[in-house]
Amino acid sequence: MAVRLQASLPLSDRESEVARLAAGGLTNRQIASSLCLSVRTVECHLWACYRKTETGTRTRLTLWLARRGQVAI
């Protein structure tokens, strides 16, 4: 039996910002540069987004954001 502990957690403000930039087509390096973060920090934020939304890829994360009106596709 699979337990979904994280699916109901909302994205933090920073996670949402990183997710929207990723959905907009920016690379991890571009996101890091624009937000004054390290590439590793961006990767950690994206990993948290994937875990919380149960998506696993940028494409699925983009669709998840679009369904919630956070990005236009």
The pLDDT value given to residue 4: 52
Is the pLDDT at 19 greater than 50, yes or no?
Answer: yes
Distances (CA, A) of 57 to 2, 25, 36: 20, 13, 23
The mean pLDDT value for 50-60 works out to: 96
Residue 15 CB neighbours (<10 A)? 19
The pLDDT value given to residue 3: 44
Predicted structure pTM score = 0.86
Is the pLDDT at 27 greater than 90, yes or no?
Answer: yes
d(CA 41, CA 7): 21
Is the pLDDT at 23 greater than 50, yes or no?
Answer: yes
